[in-house]
Amino acid sequence: MKLSLALKSFAICFLATLNLQAQHSEQIKRYYKKIQGLYQDPKTNEVVLLPIDLIRFRLYYQPNPYCVNAQVKAMKQISLDVNKNRMQVQFVKSNYRCTFIFDNHYQSFVCINPDGSQQIFKRTPQLIQKPFAYFLSLFPKHSTKQYHVSSQPTYTQALPLLIAWRFISHQKFHLFDDFTAKDRKDFTEGELYRLLLSTPQAPSAGYSGHTTYYVVKRFSLHPNFYSLLVREKGYAYGGESNYDITFLFNFDKTGKVLDVLKVGGIEIGMGHFELHTSSLIKGLQITVQDKNYNGPKSSTKKPKIDITQHVILPSGKFEQK
């Protein structure tokens, strides 16, 4: 009887402990959601990014919004006092530690550096202030209206992740008519996390995947819009596919994406399909060739070839013939 009572008492205490741990975990997750966002020191232009992922909380630092991706630094949380809005962080691969103290409305935080100096980082919805013309200037002009896009992209100049996020990610999800405003917001924020996961100090991307955009070419195909070739490389959510793809984006004069067409690259999905795409751009006419090799795990190696013809309308939209 005494043993039975002791076991019952232990079980009650154990369950109570689990319940308290669960409540504490939920409290921390809610706190992370409150502080997640983009912050900048207006005096130095330094940036701290707290992305939306709640599974593995990791912070990122940039010396400025326009820096190359190799300069992005990852930080990890050392301690957290939710009641005092106080967090201590340490840079990955460094002994450098800072203390963040958030205001009660989570619109800013004070950063206390190791030497005792202080900085104020303010929440901001957007870090890139330069105009669309700046984004265009990053792409080298192609001298003619004809171009062959290979299935194996070779361009290696990566777009700084915040520039890619501002001018591509914020735009492309508006092309999906069935997306709600919340869908667009969620996918746009999720893509920032995937862009950060492609930087050198980021943790393993795991299920979330990662992506990087690269500069290719700029074309003058029609006076109504700008046409840019952009390379995107990474792997999809859940690791379901690896991709290294070239897209042709048409932008209006304000930087709004009018339409996008896949014109090159390789996609490999779960080892069971392997799609090679190449194309020929001739002015407003585009011929796209897809070769489906059925994947490295398939016994069928002879590709199925599909050729499609597309025309670019004066509106900037792509129309398949």
- pLDDT tens digits, one per residue of 185-222: 777 778 888 899 999 998 877 777 899 999 999 999 99
Locate the DSSP E strands across the chain. Answer: 37-40, 47-50, 58-62, 73-81, 86-91, 97-102, 108-112, 118-123, 146-149, 210-222, 225-235, 241-251, 257-269, 273-282, 285-292, 304-312, 318-320
CATH of the domain at 119: 2.40.128
Q: What's the CA gap between 265 and 245, in Å, rounded?
A: 4
Q: How confident is the model at residue 300 (pLDDT cuts 50, 70, 90)?
A: low
Look up the pTM and report it. Answer: 0.86
Q: Under a CB-based contact definition with an 8 Å cutoff, are residues 189 and 165 in contact?
A: no
Q: Tell me, yes or no, whether 136 and 110 share the same domain.
A: no
Residue whose tokens read 């330094």: 46
Given a contact cutoff of 8 angstroms between Cβ atoms, the answer to whether 225 and 250 are in contact is yes
Q: Sorting pLDDT into bands at 50, 70 and 90, what band is 15? A: very low
Q: From CA 184, how far away is CA 64, in angstroms rounded?
A: 26
User: Which residues on neighbouring strands pair with residue 245, listed in sequence order?
Assistant: 232, 265
Give residue 296's pLDDT: 58
Please indicate, yes or no, whether residues 279 and 143 belong to a single structural domain of this protein. yes
Q: What percent of the chain has pLDDT over 90?
A: 66
* Residues 267 and 292 sit within 8 Å (Cβ to Cβ): no
Whole-number pLDDT of residue 302: 78
185 and 123, same structural domain?
Answer: no
205 is a domain residue: yes
Provide the residue range defining the domain that includes 79. 36-127
Centre a 10 Å sphere on the Cβ of residue 164 and count the other Cβ atoms it contains. Answer: 25
User: What total of structural domains would you count in the chain?
Assistant: 2
CB 266 within 8 A of CB 276: yes
The whole-number average pLDDT for the span 293-303 is 67
Task: Give the mean pLDDT of 158-165.
Answer: 97
Fill in the amino acid letter for 228.
Answer: L
Are 198 and 254 in the same domain?
A: yes
Distances in whole angstroms, Cα of residue 260 to Cα of each of 69, 110, 227, 242: 25, 42, 9, 20
Same domain as 308, residue 164? yes
At residue 312's C-alpha, the angle toward residues 311 and 317, to 5°, is 120
Domain identity same for 115 and 253: no
Residue 7 φ then ψ, to 5°: -65, -40
- Report the pLDDT value the prediction gives residue 293, as an integer from 0 to 100: 83
215-227 per-position pLDDT tens digit = 999 999 999 999 9
Residue 79 has pLDDT above 80, yes or no: yes
Could you tell me the CA-to-CA distances from 160 to 17, 72, 201, 282 in Å, in that order?
Answer: 46, 10, 15, 30
pLDDT per residue as tens digits for the range 229-271: 999 999 876 667 889 999 999 999 999 999 999 999 999 887 6
